[in-house]
Amino acid sequence: MRALVTGGCGFIGSNLVHGLVTRGWQVDIVDDLSNGYMQFLDGISNVRAVLSTLLPYYQNSSRAQDTVLMIEGDIEDRNVLTRIESGAYNVIFHMAANPRVTYTVEQPAITFDINVTRTIRILESIRNSSRPIRFIFSSTSAVYGNNATLPTPVSQVCAPLSPYGLQKLTIEEFLKQATSLYGIDAVSLRYANVYGPRQLGNSPYSTAISAWCNCVNEGLPLRSDGDGEQTRDMVYVDDVVRANILAATRVEPFKGEVFNVGTGTRVSNNTILSFFKERFGELQVNTAPPRPGDVRDTQLDISHTAQGLGWTPKVSLEEGLMHTWKWWGF
């Protein structure tokens, strides 16, 4: 199996790359390193980096099966799209995006180009490919907005509160259309709040767990948004990796289906904070206003995913936090 992972040096993408390599896949990555880091590939024995502008001069014949090709550049680079059209891949895992909710509120036009237009260019190349390519899209539970139905099923009417959620929903709808118009084999995975190793927390857009880990590491006060009683469906990154691989290896083709990837449970920020205090002792916590575009509660109904992909989560929050803290060196 040959795969392209867009955004493969980012948090979820790099964890997926490690998982694919462990399973014997040959992997290409395309990443402009705006939100990704080459050191996230540490532990992979063979990584060969090439600028996207020099991609036509790269010879696959000299490449070992276990060599990961890291293509540094934009996903819409003509050389990257040409490689897709040549039939170089069985599967494309599309994880490249600008995932910062607040930033999409501030810059909707810029992030629409990144999250929507460039994704559609990839799909055009898949349509023109010399061989079938399965497209696995990393979507988000942010498409639901604030819903009264918890756990939220995939049949729930979507009402995203942020441009980020709307942009992801736009691609989901386009994929449903593309399967009938162009015969593209495509599926969308709606992630809950993903956490785990390789998730940095030094940005104002960071998730609570990664931000708090960074504060503990730096000896800084922790920031808690709002009253802390907002709840999240927290899913560990290894479970998300398994969902992607199960989607990639399903025998039946997809027709734009959507699957929730969460735990089916929810936990408040205050409860997560209590785990931190139990581990690290009394911590200084500063209260901040709620972030614009953030939903109040998330909890995903994963029954459809269990039936359609044979996937259920395996890692509890307590276990996931221990793995995460270990990666941070705590």
DSSP-derived pairing of the beta strands 47-51 and 285-288: unpaired
pLDDT digits (tens, 9 = 90+) for 90-145: 999 999 999 888 889 999 999 999 999 999 999 999 999 999 999 999 999 999 99
For the chain, domain boundaries: 97-194+236-264+300-315
For residue 124, with 0-12 CB atoms within 10 Å meaning exposed, 13-18 middle and 19 or more buried, which class applies? Answer: middle
* pLDDT tens string 152-169: 999 999 999 999 999 999
How confident is the prediction for the chain on average, in pLDDT?
95
Phi and psi at residue 88, in whole multiples of 5°? -75, -15
pTM above 0.85, yes or no: yes
Q: pLDDT higher for 194 or 100?
A: 194
User: In which band, very low, low, confident or very high, does the pLDDT at 63 lie, cut at 50, 70 and 90?
Assistant: confident
Nearest partner of 4 among 98, 88, 97, judged by Cα: 88
Packed helices 237-249 and 11-22: angle between N→C axes, nearest 10 degrees: 60
Residues annotated as part of the active site: 164
> What is the C-alpha separation between 152 and 266, in angstroms, rounded?
11
Residue ranges in the chain assigned as alpha helix (H): 11-22, 78-85, 101-106, 108-112, 118-127, 163-181, 208-218, 237-249, 269-280, 303-309, 317-328
C-beta pairs of 49-56 under 8 Å, 24+ apart in sequence = 52/77, 52/79, 52/80, 53/77, 53/79, 55/79, 55/80, 55/83, 56/82
The region of weakest confidence among 34-38, 292-296, 311-315 is 292-296
Question: What is the structure's pLDDT at 294?
Answer: 78
Which CATH superfamily is 97-194+236-264+300-315 part of? NAD(P)-binding Rossmann-like Domain (3.40.50.720)
